[in-house]
Structure 1
Amino acid sequence: MSDSIEGTVAAATGLQNWNMMQEKDNLLLRKVLDGQANTILSLVNSVPTAPQLANGGMVGTLLHTTA
């Protein structure tokens, strides 16, 4: 009977260790994803805004195209 108790304790300890490693990996992944998100956000914010199209006058308002 002590073999089954020792096996159960060993299995529980192994699962706790596995859970701890998974939590550490998830934390690392979250930090990497946050860093990438910040990098992408800074790149998007660094792009100048697109110029506005003409909505009056003779230039840029009379051409009609369909694809």
Structure 2
Amino acid sequence: MSESVQSAVAAASGLQNWTMMQEKQNLLLNKVLDSQANTILSLVNSVPSTPQLASSGSVGTLLHTTA
């Protein structure tokens, strides 16, 4: 009977350790995703909202098209 108690305690301890490791990995994943989201947001915000059209030179000023 004592072996079954010991194995149950060992299993519970193992599950507790596994749960703690999963929580640490989830925390790290959330930090990485937050960091990537901040980087992407800063890149998106650095792009001008309206494109600057060419006003002089030979590139983008000689051909006019409409869709």
Aligned-residue identity in percent: 71
The alpha carbon displacement at 1:22 in A equals 0.2
CA RMSD of aligned residues (A): 1.8
What is the aligned partner in structure 2 of residue 47 from structure 1? 47
CA-CA distance at 1:49 after TM superposition? 1.2
CA distance in 2, matches of 1:42, 1:31: 17
Corresponding residue of 1:22: 22
Alignment: residue pair count: 56
Gap regions ≥5 residues in structure 2: 52-63
State the shift of 1:50 in Å: 1.9
Structure 1: which amino acid aligns with 2:13?
A: T
TM-score for both structures, normalised by structure 1 = 0.76
List, as ranges, runs of 4+ consecutive aligned residues in structure 1 with deviation greater than 2 Å. none
